[in-house]
Structure 1
Amino acid sequence: MSQKKQDYYPFLLALVGGLLGLGVLISAMQLIYYQDSKHAIEAYAQEAMDFTLQVNSEIIDSLQAAASLNIQDCSTENFNQLKKIIWNHQFINDIGIVKHHLLLCSAMWGRFQPEIILPPIGYTNATGFSKIKNNGAIFPYHLNGNMTLKNNILVVVQPKAFDTLKRLSNRFDLKITAKRANYTYFFLRHHDATQMSDEFPFQTQDIRRCHPVRDVCIEIRDYQAGVARLSNQEWWLVIMIGSVFGIVVTVFGLHFLRSSDSLSNRLKRAIKKRDLYVEYQPIVRLMDQKIVGVEALVRWNDPKYGQISPLLFINLAEKLKLDREITQFVLNQALSDFKNVFKQNADFTVSINLNKSDLITTSFYTLLVKQLKKFDVEPKQIVCEVTERVDLNLEDLSEKINQIKALGCRVSLDDFGTGTSNLSSLSGLAFDTIKIDKILLKHVTQNQFWKDLVIAIIALTQEQKYKIVFEGVETQAQWEFLKEQIDGAFAQGWLFYKSMSASDIYELLQKQINT
Structure 2
Amino acid sequence: MRTRRLIVLISAVLIITALLLVSLSVWVAHQNATRLFTGELESFSARVMLRTTMVANQAEEALQRLEAINVPPCSREHLLEMRRVSYSRRYIQEILYFRGLQPVCSSLEGIKKSAAFPQPLAMTPKGYRFWYTAKSDLGIEHDMVALGSAHYVVMIDPESLIDVLPYGAWPINVALIGIKRNLVIASSAPLADNGWVQAIHTHQTQFQHHDIMYHITRYPALNVATLTWTSTTPLDRDWQRQLLYWLPFGGAVSLLAAWLILRILRILRRLQSPRQRLLEAIRAREIVVHYQPIMVLEDGRLAGAEALARWPQPDGTFLAPDIFISLAEQTGLITPLTELIVESVFADLGQWLQQHPDLHISINISATDLGNPALPTLLEQHIAYWHLDAGQIALELTERSFVDSKMSAPVIAGYRKMGHAIYIDDFGTGFSSLSYLHGMEADLLKIDKSFVEALEYNNVTPHIITLAKTLHLKMVAEGIETPQQEAWLREHGVEFGQGWLYSKALDKQAFIAWTERR
- TM-score relative to the length of structure 2: 0.45
- TM-score relative to the length of structure 1: 0.46
